[in-house]
Amino acid sequence: MNYTIDPVTMQVVRYRLEQVADQMGYTMVRTSRSTIIKEIMDITCAIFDEQGKTIAQAHHAPMLLTGFEITMAELLKRIPLSEWKEGDVIISNDPYLGGQHLTDLQTFAPIFYENRITGFVGTIAHHSDIGGSAPGSVAGGLTEIYAEGLRLPMVYLYRSGKENPDVFDILSANIRVPDKTLGDVRAQAAASFVGIREVKNIFEKYSPEVVKGCMKMLMDYSEKRMRAGLLKISDGVYSGEDFVDDDGIEDKPIRICVNIHKKGDTASVNFDGTDPQVKGNINCPISTTHAAVYYALICVIDPHVPPNSGCYRPFTVTAQPGTVVNPLLPGAVQARTNTSQKISEATIRALSKALPEKVTAGSHGNIMTCGFSGWHPGTRKRFVYIDIQGGGAGARPGKDGRDGQDSHLARFMNTPVEAAELECPVRIERYELIKDSGGPGKTRGALALRRDVHCLAENMTFSRYADRQKFPPFGILGGKDGATGRFVKNPALDNKQMKSKGLDYLKKDDVISIRTPGGGGYGSPFERDPAFVLNDVLDEKISIESAEQFYGVVIDKKTLTVDLKRTTDKRSSGGTKNRS
């Protein structure tokens, strides 16, 4: 059958390519060894044309995607197309070459068809350990990238389909759990080879000319949709800000300021007013900064657009070198996720002034990444248990926030209790939603999560980085703030609150209570239907006291029904309080 380059064929090719990217990701999940990949799915995959432009991406973690394209540009500068061979795989994790942070290893491999390169496939995955001063490579408060782990430039992981033993030896010598990490690296390579095979099948069916023509049409289509969305926004400058609590070294907030200059069907984004880079490792590499901005812009302007390089054409994003959103060497970046969340939140906050009906209130706005490590008392083998927790999503126009979800920018899964307890000497004693943690509003902010981890081995380390423990998730259009998060050590005993970023040593039977932030509310709480407030009380999402204090809804404690007269009187008196 002869295929033509037309809109129908373009969409068919698009979905085939996206399915291949998803298949690559699930290959990685099925063949990996660590819970952070096979359970949390801190991964993504993409397919590029021969110029390194993104054509299709997997439906996994949006925050990892734009960095691919920046890395591809750097990669093609270093290795021209003429030097690639079929079966080659390049690996890199350098944040200053388009990478994210050191625990995110990226791989890139060429697609050869009829003896010439017709594109590339890429994978990225967060690994259990990449060396450095902290087990799990997740501690906050480090001051140089050299302390964060092994930094790989663009080196050959495979040459002509065969492993490069030198790179595998270097990895093995620098990480604490080589059996897991090397298995996960091989899973990324396997995903790459699956992707290459499946893309070749698409070329075989439709012909290279048709596929390439459809790729160009697809990117043009995405560009056209984004420009059409921009035309619906009034010209002007829209600014939003958010704050990182601290950098883990100095106890002072770090300001993130996003400025969107919209004109016609284009927009330029800068970070004027953003603080300089800091000592601690919350600095955000430019690749992650781009991803956070593009993610928020696409979500608000046209959330259903096919995500590819065409989406980026109407925008320019600039950030002054030496700022916290574009650091210079040797700036440490491992905890950059908490800054990237604030970039997205500030972008959404800026767009709320232009498109209030399309944005959400503030989410929990952090990624609570925890690393528990030590020696298993039964096997005496080293273990690293990475636990990533989400929190409350911001309330939406017409809908409450999604309780206990992960970050909208990362979209990770949770680690099932059974998986954590099976592989590591821990017991999850509580895993529940936190009552009254969602910001009151016409639509309610989502509830936060509590997860209590009981340590069953001696001399375990607890490394972590988190945020939103000082600055709460913001409410908008009259909605109230959500609750802040915290780490609590031994909640049944001394109930000690711990720093949000750092490294501590634990004794056997210590309990770490991970409590995430909630989500902000949308609109005035006094406009919320009293029946919805009552349902929240009956579902134990809010207390009777909060129903009255924040929503002005009086509920009879004996009958658990709304007292309509007292509610009307309460609401007519006006005013709601913010949480203390």
Please tell me whether residues 507 and 535 are part of one structural domain: no
Query: What does the pLDDT read at residue 406?
Result: 65
Please tell me whether residues 128 and 147 are part of one structural domain: yes
Please tell me whether residues 218 and 198 are part of one structural domain: yes
Query: What does the pLDDT read at residue 46?
Result: 94
Write the pLDDT tens digit of every residue in 9-42: 999 999 999 999 999 999 999 999 999 999 989 9
Please tell me whether residues 490 and 431 are part of one structural domain: yes
Please tell me whether residues 410 and 553 are part of one structural domain: no
340 in a structural domain: no
Query: What does the pLDDT read at residue 575?
Result: 60
Residues 6 or more apart whose CB falls under 8 angstroms from that of 127 comprise 34, 36, 37, 103, 104, 105, 137, 175, 181, 184, 185
Query: What does the pLDDT read at residue 409?
Result: 66
Please tell me whether residues 409 and 499 are part of one structural domain: yes
Structural contact between residues 434 and 355, judged by C-beta atoms closer than 8 angstroms? no
Query: What does the pLDDT read at residue 60?
Result: 82
Query: What does the pLDDT read at residue 61?
Result: 73
Query: What does the pLDDT read at residue 63?
Result: 60
- Please state, in angstroms and rounded to a whole number, the distance separating the CA atoms of residues 536 and 546: 10
315 in a structural domain: no
Please tell me whether residues 364 and 505 are part of one structural domain: yes
Decide which of 208, 223, 238 is a domain's last residue.
223
Please tell me whether residues 469 and 561 are part of one structural domain: no
Q: How far is CA 55 from CA 21, 120, 355, in A?
A: 10, 10, 28
253 in a structural domain: no
Quote the number of domains for the chain: 3
- Please state, in angstroms and rounded to a whole number, the distance separating the CA atoms of residues 537 and 560: 9
Greatest C-alpha distance within the chain: 79
Q: Is 94 helix (H, G, I), strand (E, B) or coil?
A: coil
3-state helix, strand, coil in the chain (%, to 5): 35, 25, 45
Query: What does the pLDDT read at residue 67?
Result: 63
Pick from 398, 409, 402: nearest CA to 519:
402
Please tell me whether residues 499 and 535 are part of one structural domain: no
Structural contact between residues 501 and 527, judged by C-beta atoms closer than 8 angstroms? no
412 in a structural domain: yes
Q: Would the pTM count as exceeding 0.85? A: yes
Q: Which residues of 235-251 are buried (b: 16+ CB within 10 A; e: fewer)?
A: eeebbbbbbbbbbbbee
Decide which of 169, 189, 223 is a domain's last residue.
223
Domain enclosing residue 104, as ranges: 7-223
261 in a structural domain: no
Positions of the chain with pLDDT lower than 50, given as ranges: none
Please tell me whether residues 379 and 426 are part of one structural domain: yes
436 in a structural domain: yes
Please tell me whether residues 541 and 469 are part of one structural domain: no
Decide which of 195, 223, 251 is a domain's last residue.
223
Tell me whether residue 575 is exposed, middle or buried, using C-beta atoms within 10 angstroms of its C-beta: 0 to 12, 13 to 18, 19 or more.
exposed
474 in a structural domain: yes
Query: What does the pLDDT read at residue 65?
Result: 60
Query: What does the pLDDT read at residue 367?
Result: 86
Please tell me whether residues 511 and 535 are part of one structural domain: no
21 in a structural domain: yes
Lookup result for tokens 């995430």: 516
